[in-house]
Structure formats: structure tokens, C-alpha cells
Structure 1
Amino acid sequence: MLEHGGRLRRAAHTYDIPLGDWLDLSTGLAPWPWPLPEIPVSAWARLPEPDDGLVDAACAYYRARAALPVAGSQAAIQALPTLRAHARVAVLAPCYAEHALAWRHAGHEVLELDEEQIAAGLDSLDVLVVVNPNNPTGQRLTPARLLDWHGRLERRGGWLVVDEAFMDPTPGLSLAPYSDLPGLVVLRSFGKFFGLAGLRLGFVLATSDLLARLDEHLGPWTVNGPSRHLARQVLADIAAHERQRAALLQAGERLATLLAAHHLPPSGGCALFQLLRRPDAAALHEHLARRAIFTRLFPDLSALRFGLPADECGWQRLDQGLARYRSSS
């Protein structure tokens, strides 16, 4: 299995620091968990039913015509490659590594390409996978660019798969409103924007026939009743979405400013994280970890990804940890 952020228990064991003492910035999640509505006993006691209003709430929130709830977008990432015969697949790299892994495991030919290589070789591909905003680089592609790529792929029966796990703070860049176009698949994560990753909930936005095929493959009851009930309430709270969006955008800018103030300007990022590429990334990661500040190290990129602190105490701890690194280097 690939490495991911959030392995806080392992870090606590490795550095012999109690779990409760850590500032976890490793995951790129909203640091403020959404207030939880009351969950009725029936959500626990009955089997989940697909016509409970969750799909309608998701379609309204994402501005999509059709949606399939799944047990985290990771479930869709692993299942989608099984719906196509052998294909030539490109992944815009670097990005969330599970995409390339899933297509390879399903027996497809997988190329990891940069934007220029994709633009030049698009007409030789059957499937293109893009993470937008990119994780971990924060790179954003415009809807016009992506729709142009989609059109070229779809004319030959190809797919454009767009993972929009970090899109919620910037909905104007989303392809969700176009997800009824044949050959376009949009993946959305529920846990990141709402700070509820433990729910393991995501949505696939695509044409109804493709969603039916994916639903058949995944089988019944992929999302549990309590998660469905909670998500339905959360997705309908429009005023709270605006507050969360504004708070995340402000915090993302604050994080970029803080890093730059310590002569560590980010190379990219979005509202939920900032990426720092440096030759000494591993040393900075180690320095912070020994002070119970957990970041995500990408050794192949020589980069660190910083998530958002949840409160002023966290911001001060990060500020102090960075200052000590600067003074010691």
C-alpha cells in the first residue's frame, strides 16, 4: 500500500511523543470538523436506502445532474479502471499516487506525464486522469483547458477523469456542472472540505449510464446509514458552506504568508495546503516532527506539504518551529 498522510499514531510511536501532543498538518483536511447533527436511531438500525434524498442534496451542492455516493472517492479510484477494456492511460503527474496504481493494477498501460506532454500526445490516449487542484502541487487547470481535452478524448470514445478532492473552496473551477457530458467523470471528496474524513464518503459525477455500471460493480450499501443522514444535512447548509469557504481561503493565504516570512516560500498550494519544495525538505520534516509537528514528506519530490493549523495555538507552534529551524540552519 502507498504512503498517505494522517499516520499520526505511527509518528507518535516513532518519535516517542504522546498522541495528544501533536500538531497534525499532514493530511490537507479542513482543520475544523463540521458540527455534527443528531443522527436518529433508524439510521443505525435500518439498511441504507438509495432514495433517502442524499443524491438530490449532492446534485444541488455540486450543481450536477447525477451523482453516486461512494465510500470515499478512493473507492471510485479503485473501481473505475475495471469498467474499461485495456486502455492507454495518462495521469497528469506528479499527483495523488493511487490513480496510477489503480489503473496499473487493472492491467492498463499507464503513462505519468506533465501538462506539455499530455497536450502533445492526447490523441494517442484512451483515458486521461487529472487531479484539479493538484495534490500535492496545488496546480490548477482552467475548465476551458479541461473541456478542450475532454472533447478530444470523447470523440474517440475516451474518458477524462477529474479528481476534484480539493475543489470545494473554489467551485468556479469545477467541472461538476458539465459532468453529464459523455466521457467525463468527476470525483468529489466529502471529508476534506467538511473536515469529516472518518465518514469515508465521496461522490462520482458522470452520466447516468456510467454511474449505473459503477453502482453495479460496487454493490449495495456502499455508504452506511449514519453517513448518509449526516451528509444530507451538511450538504444542505448553504450559509455554512460560504463561511467554511471563506475561512479556508483566508487560512490558506495565512499559511503561505507564514512560510514565506521564514524564507520558505511555497512552490504551490490551495486553500487546504501549501507545498514547499527544497533540497532540505527531509531535514525540515525531521526537525518539525521532533517538535511534534507532523507534515507530509514527499521524498521523490524533495517536498513538504503543510496542512492548516486548527487554532491560534497551532499557528504559534508552527511559527516557532519554523523560526527554530531557520536559526539552526
Structure 2
Amino acid sequence: MEIEKGIKYFEEAIAACIEYCNSNLTEAGHSTIDIAYDIASDSSVGGTSSYNGEKYLIEINYGVLKKINDIYAILLHKNNESFYQKISLEQTFDDYKADFYLSLLVEESLKIVIFHELAHVLNGHLKYLYQNSSEKVNLNLINEDNNELEPLFSQALEMNADAFAATHCISMLTFPKSIYMRNEQCQGLIKNKSHAYLIFYIASGILFSELGMSNPRESKPLNELYYLPLRTRYDTMIRCSTNAYFKLNPEQSSDSEFLNHEFLREMSSNTELYHSMLRVKQGGSNLNFDIKNNIEEISEEYINHADEIFRYWSNTVREPLLKHTIFDLPK
């Protein structure tokens, strides 16, 4: 992806996601919200969002999605037919169609990042943070220096933003008109709604794996972390995305035989291992992408803690956010 074309593509995608949310607000009888955006080059985090008491700003990092694009360029090369078969549900490699899958997977990865940051705006996270901070500066949740929230509260907001991203991505990707339009561009690209979910599942898995795996790092008590590791959060992302899929598409209830949390949780380790092996083969990285690094992040202790955060959201976080939010908040 050329830099100039990539940045223009990013700007168009961000504007489209903001317009999509504002359209939903209009349909619900609310006023639209003005959200500025910018493109940054950081490759360690997908994006950030901030609020200064008057204006909202989201920044999406080109560096991360450039790496994601490069990963899919390798995975969808004709030498990796197994990945093509997994994403296309076809046995014979099609170079023309592979390019469309590459674009679609990168687009979904980008939308996950964008909608996550928009959740901090639309679900009242940033306004709540601003009103409960001693220093009224340009605040964003990822900056621990000016995040005065309790760690568990901050963890809950991040997981809520993941759920918002999953719901909106699933809504857009499984919408019949969306599937039809993509198949008009490339015949048979998305076979059905469950195939659309599979594409989202793989895109989110590679994204969380790319951002979440690293060199061994010092372990801290879970209750002291402002942000749960992405590998831990991906397990809840699976749960939120399947819940969204069946809520938005109740006629697909039979898909629950294979689109269920336990089965997809097992598959996620295979996706992560595939990605880890690819990063090692790529070389040129200072990071040791060993799946065994920080393995406790996908342990039962961490997953159970994430479950506790769901309850903490319901009992502690949701109520004080209600006066700041625009969309309805999950219970």
C-alpha cells in the first residue's frame, strides 16, 4: 500500500465510520456530533481519542495498519494456499479474488480501530474522564499520566469500546446490501452472513495478535492494570461479536453450532500461532513474537478476571456514564 494512497484511504474510512454513527444518531432523533480526526504514524497502538472540554479528536495510526497490510500480502500470496482456503471457503487459489480479500481484511482491521475510538466519544468515556479529572487538559484514556480513573474502571471502558467496535463492524459487514455490493465488485467474495462473520473474526484475531504479542514483560497484579492485555481482551471480543451477530441476525440461529464462544476460542490460538510463525519468518523485527511470551494473558485467571470486569461494568461503571453517553449502553 503506497503511503499517499494509504493515508487517503484512511481518511475516507474514518469519515465513513463517523458518518455511519451520525446517521444512526439522526435516525434515533439525536443531534449529530462533530468529531475531528487525524492520521498518525505510530506503529505500537492502533489509535487514540481525546477531548479538551469542547472538541473531540480521534487519531488513527497508519503504522499499525501498514503492518497489517503487509501481513495479509504474505498470507494471501499464492504460496499460502491454506490461508486463502480458510478465508475464501474455496479450494482453488484465485489471485484476482485474493486481492479483494486482502483489501477487505485490512478494511475490517481499520474499522475495528476506528469504531473503538469512536466508542470513547459516543459512549461518554472521554466526557466522563474529563469531568472527573483534576486537570482540565486534552485528555485521552491511553495516557496513564492523566487518566485518574480507577484501573478497573479504565479496563471496563476499554472492553466496552471493544464491544462497540464489534457490534458496529458486524452490523456493517453482515448487512445484506453490503454483502450484495461486495459481490457485485467480485463475484462470490462473501458467500453468506456466516462467512462475513468469519472474515471479521480472522481480521480481529490478526489485529489483536499483532498489537498484543511482544517480548516478555513484567507481570503486574490484574487489579492494578489500566488496560487488560489485548490477548485477554480478544477472548471477550469473540463473545461480544458472536452476541452481536445473533442479535442482529436472529434468522441465523443455526450458525450457533459453529459460531460459538468455546469453538472460536479454540480457533483463536491457531490464528495467533499462524501469525507468530509468520512474524518470525518475516524477520527484521526487534520483537520476539513467540506465542509463549506472556502466556498468562490467555490463562484461566486472566479470562476469569475479564468476566469479573463485565460484572463490574454492570454494577459500577454503567450508571455514572449514562448522563454522558449518546447511544444506549449495554447492561
TM-score category (smaller protein): under 0.3
Bigger proportion of residues as strand: 1
Bigger proportion of residues as helix: 2
TM-score relative to the length of structure 1: 0.27
* Larger RCO (CA under 8 A, 6+ residues apart): 1
Q: Which has the larger radius of gyration?
A: 1
